[in-house]
Each structure stands twice: as C-alpha cells, then as structure tokens.
Structure 1
C-alpha cells in the first residue's frame, strides 16, 4: 500500500484465502443495483429504506464517538426536523448531513480532494466542536498534535496511537486522495479493500482536532458508492461496530503493532460488512413476510372489497404510490362513482390520506398503513 507508518515503514496486506472468499461474497451481494428487482423495495419504500439506513448510520457512528442521545430521541429529531437540543444531537444531525453529502459526491462521480475532505469535516463538526475555527482545518505544526486514546478504567487514558507529525499531513492527504481516486501507482486494489484502507488511512493520520472517526467511516461509504456498491446505501456498518467498540479499536492496534500488517483491519471490516448485509437481508425478508401477513388479513375483512385490496397491495409495496379516481376507474373497469366510493371508503377507514390536487383528489398511503390494517375491526371485536 502507498500508506506508510510514522517510522516510514510501508503498510501491506496479505491477501489470504479468507480475504478473497469474503470479497467474493460481498461482490455477489453488494455490487451493482442488486435491489432493483426486490419486490419489497419499490421506488417509494426504497427511498424510505435509504433514509432509514442513513439515520441509523448517523446515530451509531456518532455514538461511537461519544454521543449520548438515545436512538429513539435522535431518530425523532431527524424525522421531524426538530432542532438539536445538545451537542450529542448536533453530532448526529451533522453526521446525517455528511453521509447524505457523501452520497451526492459518489453519484456525481467527483474525485476526492483535500478540499472535499475539509468540507466534509466542517459538515461533521459544525456547532459540535470546542473551537469553531478547528472545523475543516488540518492541524498545524505550531499546535499540540492530537493522539488516539482509550479509557483504562481510571482517570487517565491509555495512549493507543500517535499519528504522523502535522508537517507531513498535507503531503499524506494528497497521497491518500490519489489512492482513493485510483490515481496512485499501486496496481489493482479490490474496490472494497480500497474503501477499507481509506477508512484506516484517515483514522491513522488523524489530521483534524476532532471528528476523525466519523469522517473515516464517511469516506468508507463514499468509496463503496463510488465503486458502484450501491447496496452500501442500505447498510449500517457503525451499528455493528458499536456493539463491540473495543474490538474495533483492537483491529487498528493489531495492524500497527504487527509490522503495519493491514490484514487484521481488512479481515475485521470485511466481517462487519458481511454482517451488515446479512442484517439487511433479514430485514427485507421480515418486510416481505409482513406484507404477506397483512394481505392475508385483508382477505378476511368484509369492509374491504377486492378492488380496494388491490389498491392496498400496491400501497404496501410502495409508500409513495398515489391513486386518482379516474385511474382507479380505468384499472378496475368500473364506473366513476364506484371508483370514487372505493377510494373514499379507504380514506374513511384511515388507510389512505386524501389530498386536493387542482380540481381532483389524490389518495396516498398513510405512514403507518400496516398498523392501521392490523387494527381494522378491533373495536368491533
């Protein structure tokens, strides 16, 4: 690897069978737009899943760095656009915005530059850093260099890593960007390995006063998305890292203390990615079963006819679906009055929301459609 340690020793990776096997499985599962044909991820639900994944990643990544907000409160803040109430919530909001920015950069196929990294850092730490002047600024030679520590159970902290001198940071940042963009003369590096090394590199150099961990994980997502691993949009890697933060820290330490052998860190991160993919598959399977269960439930409800069940089946699979009376009339080959009665009936049951659209009405799925369907007729029971 073009990355060198503070003593000038090059980092390297031993591409053992376990690495290739894991990369092969990730390629099969995550390369390309593999969810395009997933029936439970229609256009509307797809966007909702991405937003949900972004929220979970923003929360977990911030909690890894010390944010103390509860998941429920943080999620409520992001979903309702409530202003953050403290520094922890500000960290989570910033992380959400940074990851969203990373998605845009990857989709626009923009190269990584020092300026882009500094911009992302500003987004990550605005209003959540001791000195606002430190936002988006690489450390200078005339200031005390930050170092990585780990609590040892006392009032002191154990120093785990001393990063390179501040005078080296501009050159190391240029080299990192060249590596990230595939411009350095390093031969073929598997895209997933490149993303993992980029994650390690930023964390190792620790160029900023604060927020380096969050930034490193954001760059990992940028690299994965830039290499067309679009499933990464749905993965929440930090939520898995947060379950065993000490193991995450040790994967850095093992690499540095074993002659700069990145194999330790790469293997650990590959395992995390595979676990995140497995969690996503489990979630999608649960959503498929949920839709099937609700559809079976609807079949036994006398207050919903077969045409209305067809509307609800579409709504369950696509949260952004909308229905017009004229469109429902044509699809079901019924009179306008019958189509109107169908959609108004679903609105009266609380299953569709009715919005005026010019001279006509548009009917949309309610956000808690599944729960509303499950609650049908319970009052009578």
Structure 2
C-alpha cells in the first residue's frame, strides 16, 4: 500500500482517485489484483490507480487470526458480502421455518441420513477417497465394516457428522477439536499415532499441488497449541470484542483450521466439520441437511483460489468469505431442489400404488430407491438405520413388501435378505 501511495503522488492524490472511483459507479464486485488487471478500468484511471482506489475503499475489520507474517487477518463488508449474508439468514437462519420435509418426523430422518451420507462421501472424495456413491451408501446403510482406507474415510466422516449434531450445544475446546480429528482420521493415516494429535516438531508440512508447487506454508508446530486455544476462544465468541455475523465466524473458523494445518493429515475434513459445528451451535439448524463439500468439490479451483487470494493480498479474508457465501447459497438451493424432486417422485409413485393399500412413507421411499437399483439387497438392519425405526417396525415394512411380491425374501444364514426383482416396474400397478 505504501508503494502504491508513493507512486500515486501522495495521500491527497490518492483520495482524488477514490472519489473518481466512487463516481464511476463500477459494478459491485471484489477483485484481487490478479483479476482486476485483466478488466477494463473505470474511465480516467489506469490499472494501478484503480487498484489503489479499491484498496483505499476497503475498511478493514481485524480478526484474532495471525498470519505467518505476523500480521492479523482482516475482512471488510462490501455490499456483495452483506447481501449474501442477509439472503442466507433469510433462507436458513434460526428463525426460518424449515421445509415440511425436514420438520415432519415421517420424512426428516430419511432426508437427514441422505444429507449426512452426501457430505461424508464428497468430503472424503475431496481428500482422495475412491469409492462410488452407491457402494459407500450401501456400506453405511448396512453397517458393513469398511473394506479399505477410502471406505473407512467415508464412514469416519459420517460418524463425525453424527457426532457434531450431538455436540452442537457444547463450547469448543482444544480437546474437542483433537477428538473430532481422531474420529475423522482414525484408520486412514500413514502413521496411526497421528490421529487426534497436533503436528509434533519435526513434522512440518506444506500445502502443494501435484507438481510440487508450494501454495501455503502453515505455522510452525511449536505455535500450534497456543493457536488452537485462540481458535476455540474465537469459535465460542469470546474474541474479538465486537459483533461478528455468525456466518463470518463459522467461515473464518473453517479457514483458520485449514490455514494452521495443525494435523499431519485430515485438516480439510476437520475444518469442514468445525464449520458445521459452528453453524449448528449458532442456531442454523437447517445445516443438518445442507452439504457444502458437494458444492466445493465441483469447483475446487474457486475454493483454492479464494484461499490464495486471501493470503496473498495483505491477509484480506474477504475473498474467502465471499467464495464460501456462494458455496452456502448453492448448498441451500441444492437442498430445496432435492426436496422438491423427492416430493415429486413420491407423488408419482403414490399414483402408481393407489391400488395397493396401506403402504407407508418408508416403504414408498424404499420402492423409489429399488426402481433405480435392480438387484439391490435390503436387510432389516439397513432399513432400520435408514429410517430410524425399531427392528420390529423395519421387519414389518419389509415383510409386507415381500408379501405383495414387490421384494424377494431370501434366507442367508440366520438373517433375512430382501432383494429387488428384475421386473419390479412391471409388478407395480400401472
């Protein structure tokens, strides 16, 4: 900033540039220098003058997160950010009436399981898990023991998301962060002793791409214990002594953990887990049903670029905040689209089953799944877990479908298995 001011002719000239920028009515956006230099500057300004005026217009709000350069991270509140925060509050805030599908007990558990599985699978895929969705979902539903590291990673994430729901009313502590990391990473690390442990001295890490280009050097291992204490104080609202919007706090917590990289592996999964804890802890209950990893995974470049922009532009976290606000907005849209699609599928299936008396919502959901998965095998335990019902209720559901000829019942050892017939569609009323 000092160099820019000197080259512009001093503060007085810089303020004149700022006034010129305000008068130019530039469309609302928040550009990094790497982006700004490729755009047409406002009339009467060159790129360097435009950049200086942009920097002067950004009023920093300091955060307690210290960068490796010893300078604090900060953010500002451009209208674009305020608008995004407002829209998320309106769509998913604590006082928002959630869709019937996630408040009605008859469907809530099914949608919750689906969202937890989606987040667990995509969060793991971001870290290299190589298992198909169908295989991963079948593993979770059946309770099968993971066969490899990828499946273990997905199951760990699923169990962690369930645990976060139980912990949402508790304050965050360093031990709780370590416990969550252990739950996320156990059985998936090269060194099993690293699970639930901060990076020890001598195990310094860097964030790099597949070609060895280093993008980020985290703080030294010796600083991590104290930084984790500060992270928890921030998460619990103890610092800073000014109001921060809850989403700003949750997104910053996500960034902070990823920035500090306090573990030898599993940092990304733990960072996303802390984001969910923060959202649920602050009353955003709809986030039980929203997957952010599925959105991030489709645009990894934007996620990584926003991280780099924040670190490379004087520790300005606004870039990351804006990027994650877009991710959250897309996650909310995906949830509503999913609920509408499922409601339509149930309605269409109910029309076909009007001639079959007494099918409940669990049986309809199973048939909808069965129509897309010929030969799929259901067990009493998988149906029980999927819908959160008793063993006897699950058994009764499946036995009725078998009695109607919509599932094929087989005996495997001491347990019953219910298989999807190849001609299920033809067996349904037309």
TM-score, normalised to structure 2, is 0.71
The 8 Å contact of residues 102 and 111 in structure 2, kept in 1 or not, is answered as no
**Partner of residue 16 from structure 1, selected from 65, 78, 83:** 78
Q: What whole-Å deviation, never above 9, does each CA across 1:78-110 have from its counterpart, x for those lacking one?
A: 11111111111111111111111111100xx11
Please give the alpha-carbon distance, in whole angstroms, between the structure 2 residues aligned to 1:132 and 1:347.
45
Cα separation, 2, equivalents of 1:200 and 1:85:
32
- Deviation of residue 269 (structure 1)? 0.5
Cα distance 1:50–1:374, how it changes in 2: closer, same or farther (>3 A)?
A: farther
The reply to whether residue 377 of structure 1 matches residue 429 of structure 2 is yes
CA pair 175-93 structure 1, distance change in 2 beyond 3 A: same
Q: Which residue of 2 aligns with 1:294?
A: 349
Distance 1:87 1:39, change over 3 A: closer
Aligned counterpart, 2:162: 100
2:66 is equivalent to residue 4 of structure 1? yes
Give how far 1:228 is off: 1.1
The CA distance in 2 between the partners of 1:234 and 1:88, in whole Å, is 23
Alignment partner, residue 195 of structure 2: 135
1:346: Cα distance to partner? 7.8
Give the Cα separation in 1 of the matches to 2:229 and 2:199: 15
CA distance in 2, matches of 1:352, 1:33: 43
Does 1:74 find its partner at 2:125?
Answer: no
Q: After superposition, where does 1:105-254 map in structure 2 within 5 Å?
A: 105-106=167-168, 109-141=169-201, 143-152=202-211, 157-254=212-309
The alignment yields a C-alpha RMSD, in angstroms, of 2.9
Which of 95, 98, 106 matches 1:44?
106
In structure 1, the residue matched to 2:55 is none
Contact residue 352 and residue 429 of structure 2 kept, 8 A: no
Distance 1:97 1:113, change over 3 A: same
* Aligned equivalents of 1:211, 1:5: Cα separation in 2: 21
Asked if the contact 2:129–2:150 (Cα under 8 Å) also holds between the matched residues in 1, the reply is: yes
Alpha-carbon deviation of 1:348?
3.7
Whether the 8 Å CA contact 1:56–1:236 is kept in 2: the answer is yes
Match of 1:274 in 2: 329
The equivalent of 1:84 in structure 2 is 146
Which secondary structure does the structure 1 equivalent of 2:144 belong to? coil
Contact 1:2–1:186 (CA under 8 A) maintained in structure 2: no
Inter-CA distance 255–39: structure 2 relative to 1 (3 Å threshold)? closer
Report matched runs for 1:324-339 at 5 Å.
Answer: none
Whether contact under 8 Å (1:197, 1:266) holds in the other structure is yes
1:144-173 per-position Cα deviation (integer Å, ceiling 9, x unaligned): 311111123xxxx11110011112111111
Question: 1:334: which partner in 2?
Answer: none
CA contact (8 A) 2:203 2:264 kept: no
Shift of residue 199 of structure 1? Answer: 0.2
Which runs of structure 1 show a deviation greater than 4 angstroms over 4 or more consecutive aligned residues? Answer: 33-37, 311-322, 344-347, 350-353, 371-375
Closer, same or farther in 2 for the Cα pair 1:375/1:164, shift >3 Å?
Answer: same
Question: Do the aligned partners of residues 117 and 177 (structure 1) sit closer, same or farther apart at CA in structure 2, a change above 3 Å counting?
Answer: same
Give the secondary structure class of the aligned counterpart of 2:214: strand
Question: Contact 2:406–2:428 at 8 Å: present in 1 too?
Answer: no
Alignment TM-score, normalising by the size of structure 1: 0.79
Structure 2, unmatched stretches of 5+, are 1-62, 367-386, 391-398, 409-417
- Going from structure 1 to structure 2, the CA distance change for 1:90 and 1:313 (only over 3 Å counts) comes to closer
Query: Aligned partners of 2:163 and 2:362: how far apart in 1?
Result: 32
How far, CA to CA, are the matches of 2:173 and 2:401 in structure 1?
52
Structure 1 residues 294 and 173 mapped into 2: Cα distance closer, same or farther (>3 Å)?
Answer: same
User: Match for 2:404 among 349, 352, 355?
Assistant: 349
Note if contact 1:195-1:224 (Cα within 8 Å) is conserved in structure 2: yes
Structure 1 counterpart SS, 2:75? coil
Once the two structures are overlaid, the 10-residue window that deviates more, 276-285 or 69-78, is 69-78
Matched positions, count: 331
Whole-angstrom CA distance in 2 between matches of 1:130 and 1:55: 25
Q: 2:402 and 2:120 mapped to 1: Cα distance? A: 35
- Three-state SS of the structure 1 residue aligned to 2:74 is coil
Query: How far apart, in 1, do the equivalents of 2:264 and 2:75 lie?
Result: 29
Q: Deviations over 1:197-221 (max 9, x none)?
A: 0000000000111100000000000
